[in-house]
Amino acid sequence: MNAKTKKLALIGAAAVVLCAGIFMALQAFNENLVFFFSPTQVAAKEAPVGRTFRLGGVVEKNSVVREKDGVTVHFRITDTAQTVNVEYKGILPDLFAEEQGVVAQGKLNEAGVFVASEVLAKHDENYMPPEAAKALEDAHKAGVAKAHAQGMDSKSHAEAVKSGAPMPANHP
């Protein structure tokens, strides 16, 4: 081999090693990338089955059920429009409570149950993860639009709220 061929071989080998390194870095990044989905998106089948993602919303009232083993907890996360069943094995954060904001990380199984590997609770009474807040706001807007489409004006809505009439979960 002459000097020119050796130089080209060295450059080619360096390019292959560089491309392999970039590929491995991108592959690792892709495996660790975790997307956020709302219960409405999960119900619409937008969330991947068997792949890790985050689910955010509010823990539905009267939905927390603890199994006798003391570690397994079942609860529902809602965005006021849709609800997703969640199963978690572990110790819940101290601030975890019904009707409070929560983000859970885990996988959706074939039965449609979100199996959480981690549960994150809000840290004070004013905090809501931005993604969860947006999901709740979008669900609320959809509920308002639905109420208006059904002919409920603001006066009849105010009267219903004032009278204490039962409201749907996504009432405006």
Domain boundaries along the sequence of the chain:
33-121
Q: How many angstroms separate the CA atoms of 60 and 31, rounded?
A: 31
What does the pLDDT profile of the chain (172 residues) look like in tens digits?
Answer: 788 888 888 888 888 999 888 888 877 766 666 788 889 988 888 888 878 899 988 899 999 999 999 899 999 999 888 999 999 999 988 888 888 889 999 998 888 899 999 998 865 555 566 776 777 777 777 766 666 566 655 566 566 666 555 555 445 4
Q: pTM of the entire structure? A: 0.60
Q: How many angstroms separate the CA atoms of 32 and 34, rounded?
A: 6
Q: Which residues are annotated as a binding site?
A: 123, 127
Q: Which residues are annotated as a binding site for heme?
A: 123, 127
CATH top-level class for 33-121? mainly beta
